[in-house]
Chain A
Amino acid sequence: MASGADKGSFGWLRVLSPLLLLVLWELAARLLDSRMLPPATAVFRALGEEIAAGPLPSDLAITLGRVAAAFTLSMLLGSALGLAMGRSRAVDHFFESWLTVLLNVPALVLIVLLYIWFGLTEVAAVAAVALNKLPATAVTIREGRRAVDPELLEMAESFRMTRWRALRHIVLPQLTPYVFAAARNGLSLIWKIVLVVELLGRSSGVGFRIQVYFQLFDVTRLLAYTLAFILVMQGFEWSVMQPLERHANRWRL
């Protein structure tokens, strides 16, 4: 296939380009020689130190836990809502305005409100993040549900398939691209909001640590934490998302 050939001949670009970025960063930092932009090597050294002796692993684990909880919650509730809205006009009309409100409330406002109402608690933090992500998931899954082939649903009806069986074998396989789109957008959005939530109201996690280093003006460690997070998320993409996607699409090969 064309895309396969493409991958084969240009795959090295995917390795070269981040390396080039690192080199550019290193050169620029050395030229500027400023506290504001430490060189890549210094950041990597700091990353190593923080992992070996510092609080980075535990902070990262705590933040990832919050990301996972908020992600799961928003995907489950958002998908359920999106499915219901995609199936039925009435449900769609009913929840449309709710979604509009949620979509347009700034993330920060939701976070602050939930902290005010429920205190600076773990539940409030996770709920604030999940609520920020939920409407986008619902909208994506709704589009997916609307695109489900009605002829196959009719087939299911004529063969008296149970609802669960039709959902699992007819609807979900057709939702796959939408679920992956929602999950990818969700993860990138959620981890950013989690940091804000931590910065505002938690005394642990990457967001909290970034606030500490912000007050100390320690750009090296700020970047080290950021880098750690980027690496973890990319690792997740490679080790979980892509294999899952390949598995879901195995029938197309």
Chain B
Amino acid sequence: MERHAAAGAPCQPVAPVILSVEVRRKCFAQRSVLGPLDFTLGTGEILAIVGPSGCGKTTLLRIVGGLDRAYDGDLVWGEPGPPRIGTVFQTPRLLPWRTVRQNLELARPSGSDPAVGDALLRTLGLWPDRDAYAAKLSVGMARRLAIARAFAIDPDLVLLDEPFVSLDEAMAAQARQVLLDAWRRRPISALLVTHDLEEAASLADRILLLSSSPARVIHTLTIPPDLRRAGGTAAAELAESLRRLPGDAHFFGGT
């Protein structure tokens, strides 16, 4: 089932593996929604998971995040064991009755250095509103705060579930930049669920294309090193090449 990318680059990451996922089957009320599928994630690797809506991407992230344990399969963590995971959920999931700053601090172990959170708030343009209740934030600001929260805990792995939707293009670009900056400072591994092929192509080291439900991996594309995070044209071309894939992948066709 797995096809190699046109460039013929190797599919396995070179860096040590932080996580191997094997989901044989995941059911909701007898109905299979996921699997069989398996993949690995390298340390410091950004892996984009792209698939049609409702194919089980979010369920897959929940399994990796330890929020869903009722599945048939295995999660195997690399050395030194389960990492610290920061999650950006599909909806911001903030505490509306706490301020922007409190939302950030409450996600971190007590006694953490507040400078880390403050720096993130500045980068994401939330600093002027740091003492506002999260209930008062616009949709875009709430989303940025959710992203800041995931990075504020100094994670080894971030799980991002459509983190940039409902941000305008400028804000989305800035938020992507935060992800890349954090990633460049330290090799954070990331699983990025998205429906946007350009976004996947512009951020990821590797892209998994999933089928419709029950999701299986129908294609893996390792982005050639010289094209990784190279910006505009390269990403658009990569996305285009994925859209031209035959068969099951046609549902990514659009523009």
Contacts and interface: CB of A to CB of B under 8 A. Distances in A.
Interface string A154-165: 110111110001
B232 interface: no
Nearest to A176: B97
A165 B106 contact: yes
Contacts of A152: 93, 95
Interface centre among B95, B110, B133, B153 (most CB of A within 10 A): B95
Contacts of B102: 169
Contacts of B65: 158
Given A158-B87, A159-B87, A151 B93 contact: yes
A89 interface: no
A152 B89 CA distance: 10
**Which bucket holds chain A's interface residue count?**
10 to 19
A161 B67 contact: no
Contact of A251 (B66, B96, B153): B96
Contacts of A110: none
B87 A251 contact: no
Given A251-B133, A252-B135, A161 B95 contact: no
Interface residues of B, number: 22
A160 B107 CA distance: 8
B252 to A, nearest CB: 29
B14 to A, nearest CB: 29
A158 B82 CA distance: 13
A46 interface: no
A159 B91 contact: no
Given A159-B87, A251-B135, A169 B153 contact: no
A147 to B, nearest CB: 15
A161 B106 contact: yes
Interface in A141-191: 151-152, 154-155, 157-161, 165, 169-170, 173
B213 to A, nearest CB: 22
B66 A158 contact: yes
Nearest to A157: B67
A178 to B, nearest CB: 15
A180 to B, nearest CB: 15
B97 to A, nearest CB: 4
Chain A at the B interface: SS class: helix
Contact of B89 (A151, A161, A170): A151
Interface in B105-121: 106-107, 109-110
B85 interface: yes
B135 A155 contact: no
Given A155-B89, A159-B87, A252-B135, A173 B106 contact: no
A212 B89 CA distance: 66
A78 B133 CA distance: 31
B98 interface: yes
A252 B136 CA distance: 8
A123 to B, nearest CB: 38
Nearest to B152: A159
Interface string A15-37: 00000000000000000000000
A170 B93 CA distance: 11
Nearest to A159: B107
A161 B135 contact: no
A151 B85 CA distance: 17
B211 to A, nearest CB: 27
A1 B135 CA distance: 17
Interface string B99-143: 000100011011000000000000000000000010100000000
Interface string A54-94: 00000000000000000000000000000000000000000
Nearest to B132: A251
Interface string A190-202: 0000000000000
Contacts of B89: 151, 155
Most buried by A among B85, B97, B135: B97
Contacts of B109: 160
Interface of B: 65-67, 85-87, 89, 91, 93, 95-98, 102, 106-107, 109-110, 133, 135, 149, 153
Given A152-B95, A158-B67, 15 more contacts: A151-B91, A152-B93, A155-B93, A157-B66, A158-B65, A158-B85, A158-B87, A159-B107, A159-B153, A165-B110, A169-B98, A169-B106, A170-B95, A173-B98, A251-B96
23 contacts: A151-B91, A152-B95, A154-B93, A155-B93, A157-B66, A158-B66, A158-B67, A158-B85, A159-B86, A159-B87, A159-B153, A160-B109, A165-B110, A169-B98, A169-B102, A169-B106, A173-B95, A173-B97, A250-B133, A251-B96, A251-B97, A251-B133, A252-B135
